[in-house]
Amino acid sequence: MVELDHALFDRRLLGGGFGDLSTWRTWFTVLKAAFGRPLNSRERDVFASVAGPRAVPTKRVRELWAVAGRRSGKSRIAAAIAVYLALFVKHRLARGEVGMCLVLAGSRDQSRSVFSYVRGLLESAPALRAEIVNVSRYEIELENGIVIAVHSNSFRTVRGRTLVAAIFDETAFWRDETSALPDVETYRAVLPSLATTDGMLIGISTPYRKLGLLYQKHRDHFGQDGDDVLVVQGRSQAFNPTLTDSVIAAQRTADPAGAVSEWDAQFRADVSSWLDDASIDRAIERGRPLELPPQQGIVYKAFTDASGGVGADSYTLSIAHKEKDLCITDLVRGTAGKFDPHQVTRDYAALCREYHVSEIVGDAYAAQWVAGTWRETGINYRRSTLVKSEIFREAEALFTRGLVRLPDHAKLLRELRLLERITHRSGKDQVTHPKGGRDDFANAVCGALYLVGRIPAVVEPPLVEPAFYSRQMGWIGSGAANTAGKSATQLFYENGGYGGGSYWPGSGPREW
């Protein structure tokens, strides 16, 4: 077996793909330590600067996690580790078994970039180029039977493979349409695949907020002695000394808060989860139908987050009602992809009529067709006076008090868990989705919850039927009924306390 440090520094092997090797000293030192290679005194100082107060590993670690700033050479190092583990390490495989060195990136574009580095390293040295048997779009088959595969992250597709190594690139920014924590899901999926080969797992990423796999590993293992897991952390220039102070200073001026994670490699203190998992889990009514049928005598409120039928946004609708203090989401629907927004509006309007909803509130989506199309269906459209972030903040109190009931709707719950609270320098909080994320379902549901949350809690029916005042009908006396056969109490409850006042004997008129 060729030792790692020899492969990295020999220009006939991996060294030929790194240019000036002195600029990679920190990375090479970290890799030597991770593989249990001895360090000289200078390398020990470099190791201590990024590994914290822990001893140098005495053997190859099971997991290496590198928290590094942007432009620090993370993807190229990921490619080098993949090539080394695939070519220079002997793996225990059964006869006929194909071992895979799997590199997972956050997106398809990132995976293409890493794949290019892998191919470049292999083709830069004649000795390595001779090991290539076949090159496909995302995989390279080697003479020894190992396949280097570079793919965008998906925890569903990694199962069932025999992995000799797994390398996670930019894990803090992985996104998936069905999971709030795809990095954790993927980690759990690859561990059994690495077990039979004693394969190594490497995670390399710029940090973001204090959530997810990278943060968990840093929290639990940084600076902690032990030969199983090594975590290192360093700003961009610590890993890439070719970056100039002026370049980073300009970036820091443009985005001071973002520079903390992007260039200093620190987890952001100004970004946190909007709600904790416990508050969301407490709201889920598991086992109930996704949609509750409409019932008589209940006041329903509706909120929509409209979309024009192009792009990745969904056109969403949510309907909710209140039972005593509880705010219950009865229905949430979304339409994505390419669609006719006018037809979707008509379909949603038909749903609203089933729930006796005559007015719908929408967010600040600026397209003029929205209000007009809704009014054509016979349902009044009212633009919300609150922007999206304010709607989330208003709904937050309902969640934290345990007053929300939600269906077990996968997309909705994922969006709720991923919502971020960003504290600006002014001290004002903003709640929004993460980069590359969506909040269409969450916005519609929280908007409807906010509307029903404003309805006064239903009290026990009065001993004396109240008189009810309708702006359209005037006063209706005790026990009186309108032309639809509804009593004053029914009118009071169905109006949810809005649109008029009520007269309680001995109390005088009261507005709600």
Overall average pLDDT of the 241-245 stretch? 91
**Structural domain boundaries of the chain?**
4-269, 277-453, 467-511
Q: Please check the confidence at residue 119 and state whether its pLDDT lies above 50.
A: yes
CATH class of 277-453: alpha beta
367 residue type, one letter: A
Secondary element (H or E) of residue 34: helix 25-34
Question: Residue 277's pLDDT is what?
Answer: 83
Region of residue 297 (phi > 0: left; psi between -120 and 50: alpha; otherwise: beta): left
**At 202, is the pLDDT very low, low, confident or very high (cuts 50, 70, 90)?**
very high
Range with lowest mean pLDDT among 182-191, 252-261, 287-296, 343-352: 252-261
Locate 159 and state its tokens. 């199962």
CB atoms within 10 A of CB 383: 12
Contact 146, 86 (CB under 8 A): yes
**At 418, is the pLDDT very low, low, confident or very high (cuts 50, 70, 90)?**
confident
**At 62, is the pLDDT very low, low, confident or very high (cuts 50, 70, 90)?**
very high
Rounded Cα–Cα distance for residues 48 and 42 (Å)? 10
Tally the C-alpha atoms within 13 A of residue 419's C-alpha that lie toward its C-beta.
29
Nearest to 271 by CA among 74, 418, 80: 418
What fold, for 4-269?
Rossmann fold (3.40.50)
H runs (alpha helix) in 196-291: 213-221, 236-239, 245-254, 256-262, 277-283
Question: Residue 208's pLDDT is what?
Answer: 85
Range with lowest mean pLDDT among 111-115, 131-135, 444-448, 496-500: 496-500
Q: Report yes or no on whether pTM surpasses 0.85.
A: no
Overall average pLDDT of the 270-290 stretch? 87
89-123: b or e for each residue (b if 16 or more CB lie within 10 Å)? bebebeeeeebbbbbbbbbeebbebbbebbbebbe
Question: Residue 283's pLDDT is what?
Answer: 96
- Which residue has 């822990």 as its token pair? 54
**At 157, is the pLDDT very low, low, confident or very high (cuts 50, 70, 90)?**
low
Show the CA angle centred on residue 163, arms to residues 167 and 6, nearest 5°.
Answer: 60
